[in-house]
Chains A and B, each alone.
Chain A
Amino acid sequence: MGITFRKETFRDDFTFKNSPEHIKRFPFPFHEDAYMYAVNIEPHVVGPKGSVLENLIDVDEHYVAEMQDRALVLAEDPLRCQSLPHMTLAGWDLLELLMEQQALGYPEHFTLTRDGDRWRWINRPLGIDDTFTFGDTSTLPYGPMEYITRQSQGDFCILDQRDGNLWMDAGMVTTQADWSLDFDIGMNFFEWHAPVPLAHEKGIFVRALKFLTNIQQGKPARRLNWTMTINPRLDTSPENYHKWGPDRATVTPENVGDKVHLRVELQSFWRLPRSNGIVFPIRCYLIKMDELVTQPKWARRLHRVIRDLPDELANYKGLTRYRLALVEWLAKLDDGSATSPGFGPD
């Protein structure tokens, strides 16, 4: 049996919701009652059945709606997808990775058949059945990276590795937490992380770069990151700030549960075999407060994390405007009892 894909929107009437089963698989990012940066990188290996880690590339009930939202973003702003000329080979690497992983994890929805360079790709949820020549861009309707990332949940940055650094030289970025591929394209690891507060002083980026440049083929790694978003909007880009920025002033004690969303990014890092680049998928998961607090442990813990967050971090994550309303709303659900260690619900 396959996934039942939801019909929903991430804009205008915002009909996005998680089903009760999906709430339980939400990748809650806090393993303790406080949050501070750490180089929280671990091997990206398959996790428990029923979790978002059941497959290394996760496809869920929001797949079709997310792909429709991506197409809308690209129609308005084609620069959300860019690939510098030397990155085409890496695009083919990514196409292979995503086709293989999606077909492996969800054979009822995706099928990949290879006969030498002649490949056939069937994507049933999106009604696609294409035959093409691997390595020959003229046999696809888009470049290889754009073709496959129009059919894969999450943003994708492809990083070229050279001179002991990583360079943001290609990407498909339409579900981002307030950063811009068009602005960052061509930058190196330190340049595009320049705006992040506190972490530079802790030497985090130097260590993280050392780790990432040593990622090996067949040994991907992952980390979780998080922020918050008002309304279930995937496209919170700087380009569209005028559309979503003002939303932050609309939070009231009455609508916190419906409007405020925890936004978690499952970031993974993979060495690409032909190009020796790194692909960095950033998979975004959204959950509204009303859904999140159905798990009492998450409600108590999120209250403590947001209440005690350093101001610099709250500012950087854009929470300052509605933080007080959120903390007061969550406080009613925190009886002060202990929370068990680890991420999962009790």
Chain B
Amino acid sequence: MSTGTTKLDVVVSDVVPVNDLVTRFHFRRRDGELLPTFSGGAHVVVEMRDGERTRLNPYSLMGSPLDTREYTISVRRDDVGRGGSLFMHRSVKPGMEMVVSYPVNLFSLDLRAKKHLMLAGGIGITPFMAQTAQLAAEGGNFELHYTCRTASLGTYADVLRERYNRRIRLYHDDREERIELDRLLSTQPLGTHLYVCGPAGMIDWVRDRAAALGWPPETVHFEHFAAPQPGLPFDVTLAVSGKTIRVDEQQSLLEAIEAAGVDPPYLCRGGVCGQCETNVISSDGKFIHNDHWLSEEEHRSGCKIMPCVSRFEGRSLVLER
């Protein structure tokens, strides 16, 4: 894994269950030094060595950027996912040595904003934990609207309310509370920037309404936190390295390429940053594109694929790797 970012050797300093679904993990540097400073919205890629398999999953840093003695991430257990979150929940214990990447920020605050309006859904709250801490320290103007399924699954809702009081608005699905989005978006002062992180449906909804209500696209920031989806196994030929590999049900195409000893560049591992974009030399079958990087036209062309999140079903696939 020579590509991507510089690595940090860390030790798990604490594992804290937050609620039925979410557990928080704390990391410190093994050499006792401070960790690199980061900016609110940054993520790290956590390397999970699970027997024969290595998974690399991105998680937002949720601690205050002002405190670099430790990094903290929160992981929501996904019982039908590919097993990364289950590995974190079941196998990662305090004292365990792990490797994480340097922080990378693909969901940065626009520091020109007169006001930061944040919308979070579910575990999409994590980048806002760091961003609100950063803004609060500088006296920044922010307001966070947070939707969760139930009060008991409102991860960090209590912490946020205690820290920021009325700047935090909570909405619970089980009480049928909904963000009044149109009203919210039409009553903001000039110079407001909008940030949204949550399920894909929420992001699309917010972006659509913001566009309809005349928000300039450069004031609307969003982060998808979609993990690669499992799927049917498929075979791939890597033309440049002369290898034929099988992608397992629970493995991403990128992970299978890496397992074969080929290291494409990557940053986000979530179909957003564009680093691992790969040319398709030939194919006979159907692409399952899950990325947010390629255009619809590129998806239809069958000439490119983002191996971090996208899959393939069919007879043959030859990639330029």
Contacts and interface: CB of A to CB of B under 8 A. Distances in A.
Interface of A: 84-87, 89, 93, 96, 160-163, 214, 216-219, 273-276
Nearest to B5: A216
Contacts of A86: 111-112
A273 B42 CA distance: 10
Contacts of B104: 216-217
B273 A214 contact: yes
B275 interface: yes
Contacts of A274: 37-39, 65, 134
A85 B140 CA distance: 13
A84 B112 CA distance: 9
Contacts of B111: 86-87, 89, 160, 275
A113 to B, nearest CB: 15
Contacts of A87: 111
B267 A218 contact: no
A286 B46 CA distance: 46
B109 to A, nearest CB: 8
Contacts, number: 57
Given A84-B112, A217-B104, 6 more contacts: A160-B111, A216-B6, A216-B267, A217-B6, A219-B5, A276-B41
A181 B65 CA distance: 31
Contacts of A216: 4-6, 102, 104, 267
Interface in B80-127: 102-105, 108-112
The dominant DSSP class at the B interface is loop
Q: Which 3 A-B pairs have the closest CB atoms?
A: A273-B37, A86-B111, A218-B6
Contacts of B110: 162
B285 interface: no
Interface in B24-51: 36-39, 41-42
B6 A276 contact: no
6 contacts: A274-B65, A274-B134, A275-B111, A276-B39, A276-B41, A276-B109
Given A162-B218, A274-B65, A217 B108 contact: no
Contact of A217 (B36, B218, B275): B36
Contact of A214 (B37, B103, B109, B275): B275
A276 B65 CA distance: 12
Name the residue in A84, A218, A219 with the highest tally of chain B Cβ atoms < 10 Å from its Cβ: A218
Contacts of A275: 39, 111
Interface in B5-21: 5-6
Nearest to B218: A163
Interface in B259-299: 267, 273, 275
A216 B109 CA distance: 17
Nearest to A160: B111
Interface of B: 4-6, 36-39, 41-42, 65, 102-105, 108-112, 134, 138, 218, 267, 273, 275
Given A163-B218, A273-B39, A217 B103 contact: yes
A85 B37 CA distance: 22
Contacts of A163: 218
Contacts of A85: 112
Contacts of B105: 276
A93 B273 CA distance: 24
A217 B102 contact: yes
A274 B135 CA distance: 11
B74 to A, nearest CB: 21
Contact of B108 (A93, A161, A218, A219): A161
Contacts of A273: 36-39, 103
A43 to B, nearest CB: 11
A217 B65 contact: no
Given A162-B108, A274-B65, A214 B39 contact: no
A45 B131 CA distance: 31
Given A86-B111, A162-B108, A162-B218, A218 B5 contact: yes
Contacts of B267: 214, 216
Nearest to A273: B37
Contacts of A217: 5-6, 36, 38, 102-104
A170 to B, nearest CB: 11
A276 B130 CA distance: 14
A163 B222 CA distance: 12
A87 B273 CA distance: 24
A217 B38 CA distance: 9
A218 B39 contact: no
Contacts of B36: 217-218, 273
Nearest to A165: B218
B61 to A, nearest CB: 12
Nearest to B275: A214
